[in-house]
Amino acid sequence: EGLSCLLKSRSESSNMSGLQVAPSSPKVNHLLFADDSLLFFKANSMGATEVNLVLDRYCQASGQRINYNKSSVYFSKGVPDSIRTEVKTVLQVPNETLNEKYLGMPSDIGSSKSGAFKYLKDRLWSKCKGGLRAQCLQQAKRFW
């Protein structure tokens, strides 16, 4: 909660304003779940420095520490290698990866949303065709 408040307080900054999924949606500069954190900021040294300041402040206040070996950075397409290197150096995060899935959802959707979520549709359809339909029929028979 403390980290979230610190990040929200920086949402007015042009470097940490976050991203918007639609014109009418709010901007999001972080997503937190259990011990995982996703931070969204501009890929430049000022953005990385601002993130560092927030994280340092949080660590000082909470006593928690960041495991930089388990941390990684993911860049949008088109970010030059020089900027990537600069941001990773400022953040002290050597890894440049993003898992294929995060919390069971695809992390890099791209422009083909139907392809990215096809597995959900297929999985749901297989459950409707198979086991769930049979279970529903068995339950219905018990009531009749």
Which position has the higher pLDDT, 117 or 15?
Answer: 15
Sign of CA dihedral 11, 97, 82, 58: positive
Same domain flag for 12 and 29: yes
- Residue 31, classed as helix, strand or coil, is strand
60 and 30 belong to one structural domain: yes
pLDDT for 4-31, tens place per residue? Answer: 888 888 877 778 888 887 888 888 888 8
Residue type, 52: N
Pair (113, 102) in one structural domain: no
Q: Do 82 and 144 have their domain in common?
A: no
- Pair 67, 7 in one domain: yes
Buried b (16+ CB within 10 A) or exposed e, 96-134: eeeeeeeeeebeeeeeeeeeeeeeeeeeeeeeeeeeeee
Strands 36-39 and 30-33: antiparallel
pTM equals 0.65
Query: In which band, very low, low, confident or very high, does the pLDDT at 129 lie, cut at 50, 70 and 90?
Result: low
pLDDT band at 48 (very low <50, low <70, confident <90, very high): very high
pLDDT tens per residue, range 52-87: 999 999 999 999 998 888 888 888 888 999 999 999
115 shares its domain with 76:
no
Greater confidence, 95 or 61?
61
Same domain, 97 and 28: yes
Q: Tell me which residue range forms the domain holding 131.
A: 109-144
Phi first, then psi, for residue 85 (nearest 5°) are -65, -45
Same domain, 38 and 91: yes
Are 14 and 39 members of one domain? yes
Per the CB < 8 A criterion, the answer to whether 28 and 2 are in contact is: no
Q: Are 136 and 94 within one domain?
A: no
Q: How many domains, in total, are found in the chain?
A: 2
